[in-house]
Amino acid sequence: MTERLPSSVDVVHLRTSEVSVLVDVSERRLPAILHWGAPLGDLDPLQAATLATSTVSHRTPNDMDVPLRPDVLGAQHTGWTGRPGLVGDRNGTAWSPRFQVTGVALEPAGSGAVITLAGLVTVGPALLQVTAEDREAGLRLVVELQLTPSGLLRGRATLTNAADEPYRLQELGLVLPIPGHAREILDFAGRWTKERVPQRARLDVGTHLREGRKGRTGADAAHVLSVGETGFGFADGEVWGVHLGFSGNHRVWAERLHNGRQVLGGSELLLPGEMVLAAGQTYCSPWLYGAYGQGLDDQASRFHAWTRARPQHPSRPRPVTLNVWEAVYFDHRLDRLTELADRAAAIGVERFVLDDGWFGARRDDSAGLGDWVVSPDVWPDGLGPLVDHVRMLGMEFGLWFEPEMVNPDSDVARAHPEWVMGPRGRWPLEARRQQVLNLGIPEAYEHVRNQMVALLEEYPIGYIKWDHNRDLIEAGTRPDGRPGVHAQTLAAYRLMAELKERFPGLEIESCSSGGARVDLGVLEHADRVWASDCIDPLERQQIHRWTQQLIPAELMGAHVASRRSHTTGRMHSLHFRAGTALWGHLGIEWDLTEATDEESAELAQWVAFHREHRDLLHSGRLVRLDAPDPALQVHGVVGVGGAEALFAVVAVDTPDTDPVGRIRFRGLDPDRVYHVRDVTPGPDPHGLRRPPWWPGREGATLSGRVLQTMGVHAPGLDPETLRILHLDAGSEARDETEEVAQR
């Protein structure tokens, strides 16, 4: 229930057990964050007032005569000389508005109490909403700051043009302060088939700006832009990070000013003239998510817990999936596909997905895209025979679409060339022999929607693999060629939402040339993301490791690859391929008709193992260890309450020493006693060297305190092999954990 706060309130303290956010709302000014980080405990009004004063630094020579109080908008009238959150004008005026607050309201999460005492409001997780206006500039503003139960701080701003003349908006975002001892940047780069490559730098005076101008999140996106104490790792060091929940053009930044002030910020990147607000028109920025933690695992846990608490988060077990792309490509033959389905069902697969090539004139990637009608040449009896066979085997049926794209050689492009996005009078350069279909045009949107609806009504399709294979370059909209990326992104969201509302239970995967649309905006509508078109397990070890800095394992598609990787040419054992894919939303991307009987039997063991443990894999807290040698990577999940855990010990390279040293398993309950077993399915890999303590199949017993503090010697592993350990504190502990989770 929303509670309007009296004007006498100066400071609002939003808190969880692990995070505090202290917000100054005094003197009818826009909110300023005094503290975002570690919990402050119980504050009284005197302490809050003192803290508000203590954030104001002394005056320096040749600076403003009034102490600097930067607000979350980065307003220039406060003396802020960093990047502003609001940039816009009304024909050269109203470019530096001075908003006056007209109301402050709180909406606690659940039934949390709001305690007001002498100008200080203390509340648990809650949404703080501040309304303001500048009558002279003709602008109204709403700022929302929300501390979620998981400890995420998220915010957005909404701007309304309250004047008769248009207002040209160039940018609207938020800036969040971070302390001066956070001086090391971690963000990500990447490219097609090598997404989420970590990179570190020092935050010195200036701006570290990451922009995405591709009309989609991008394989090279910053993903999560973090700044922390020098040398921060998975377990140690305070770290603050931001992620913009938007799938179109965007920017995030870290900035340090001459006066030592530091901020993280983010906004949608609006192209010239893309957002001109007419009288009464409103623009709402995407949510900017801020995650504070003691180490990167703590930060990731805030994102994961928030994601899992959403009402739309997948609640049923994630079906093991077979996608046929690397098995058949465009060679769609009913007999071959039904044989694939038979083999998939026999090893425990639960979902069968028919990929690109089933529609229009789509015999290769040069034609047919945008004509979402089953090809009578390839499927003379329609998709019914395949769908019926798949469902008879007890599997769900999924289908590939690329709704936002079009081949120039297609019926829809020939009939409606004006639906192709581009600047005025011409089409942009082609990429992957395709262009972008402008879903911002109502008729184009209806055309795509109606064709998809017709198929979803005709066949029991439970899953859509939603691809997006082209950057939005020169993405204008007819007839004047104005930029249309913003409208296109919202139209894609709207189409996903409309289909899911019309077909309850429908699931959508966000695929975009692999992992180029992985963000919390698209995950408002999608049920998983495809992390990369590269399924080489060695590359996937890194991709999985860092994709999970933002999203939990159950939302990350991870498939067992072919013997020889189709993107890198490397060959890997089934042991390493399956043991890598196990830790996400498991699937298979391999021509199973080529598998030997021994391989099929081993793969069935891995599928059964995943199905047995997926409740833990898809609900546990992520733990990544800072291993003694970078050639050895150790990661796992610990269940709620610490009663059960799974860890993978992975050799990604040849270590400098053999043995490499001890592994200390973090995240366990020190007071529990764990039965530790090597539960890796299949035969032992070549070169496995077990130390004397290694439990083998019979198991060993050690306390959580010993496992965390002293640790145990790692096994000797050849490169590109792994072992999986199951840590179990007993059935009574598991029952207790389940009760805690249910509560």
Residue type present at position 175: V
pLDDT digits (tens, 9 = 90+) for 68-83: 889 999 999 999 999 9
pLDDT of residue 221: 98
Q: Tally the residues of the chain.
A: 743
Residue 533 annotated in active site: yes
pLDDT digits (tens, 9 = 90+) for 119-152: 999 999 999 999 999 999 999 999 999 999 999 9
* Active-site residue, from 297, 467, 471, 527: 467
Per-residue pLDDT, averaged over 467-472, amounts to 97
pLDDT of residue 736: 46
Give the closest residue to 551 by CA, choosing from 201, 232, 156, 217. Answer: 217
What is the rounded CA–CA span in Å between residue 71 and residue 34? 10
Burial (CB < 10 A; 0-12, 13-18, 19+), residue 588, is buried
pLDDT digits (tens, 9 = 90+) for 34-72: 999 999 999 998 888 888 877 777 777 888 777 788 999
pLDDT of residue 341: 98
pLDDT digits (tens, 9 = 90+) for 709-727: 999 999 999 999 999 999 9
- Is residue 742 pLDDT above 50, yes or no? no
Local confidence band at 737 (pLDDT 50, 70, 90 cut-offs): very low
**Is the distance from CB of 408 to CB of 430 less than 8 angstroms?**
yes
Neighbours of 354 (CB within 10 A): 25
Per-residue pLDDT, averaged over 146-174, amounts to 98
Both tokens assigned to 219: 């394989």
Local confidence band at 698 (pLDDT 50, 70, 90 cut-offs): confident
- Is residue 673 pLDDT above 50, yes or no? yes
Residue 63 annotated in active site: no
* DSSP type of residue 428: -
Rounded to the nearest 10°, the torsion over CA 216, 218, 224, 229 is -140
Tell me the average pLDDT of the chain.
95
**Is the distance from CB of 572 to CB of 538 less than 8 angstroms?**
yes
| Residue for token pair 């010993």 | 706
**Is the distance from CB of 159 to CB of 143 less than 8 angstroms?**
no
**Is the distance from CB of 685 to CB of 716 less than 8 angstroms?**
no
Instruction: Give the H/E segment covering residue 602.
Output: helix 597-617
- Is residue 267 pLDDT above 90, yes or no? yes
Local confidence band at 336 (pLDDT 50, 70, 90 cut-offs): very high
What is the rounded CA–CA span in Å between residue 325 and residue 574? 19
pLDDT of residue 117: 86
Domains of the chain: 3-54+68-309 (2.70.98.60), 318-349+531-614 (3.20.20.70), 358-377+390-529 (3.20.20.70), 622-742 (2.60.40.1180)
pLDDT of residue 35: 96
**Is the distance from CB of 43 to CB of 53 less than 8 angstroms?**
no
- Is residue 459 pLDDT above 70, yes or no? yes
What is the rounded CA–CA span in Å between residue 593 and residue 341? 10
% of the chain at pLDDT higher than 70 = 98
User: Degrees (nearest 5) of the Cα angle 369, 515, 252?
Assistant: 115
pLDDT digits (tens, 9 = 90+) for 174-198: 999 999 999 999 999 999 999 999 9
pLDDT of residue 403: 98
Local confidence band at 732 (pLDDT 50, 70, 90 cut-offs): low
pLDDT of residue 731: 57
% of the chain at pLDDT higher than 90 = 89
Give the closest residue to 545 by CA, choosing from 589, 583, 585, 586. Answer: 583
Residue ranges for the known binding site for substrate are 192, 355-356, 432, 465-469, 511, 533
Q: Give the global pTM.
A: 0.96
* Active-site residue, from 10, 298, 471, 533: 533
Local confidence band at 170 (pLDDT 50, 70, 90 cut-offs): very high
Radius of gyration of the chain (CA): 27
- Is residue 739 pLDDT above 50, yes or no? no
- Is residue 588 pLDDT above 80, yes or no? yes
Residue ranges for the known binding site are 192, 355-356, 432, 465-469, 511, 533
Phi, psi of 141 (to 5 degrees): -135, 140
pLDDT of residue 586: 98
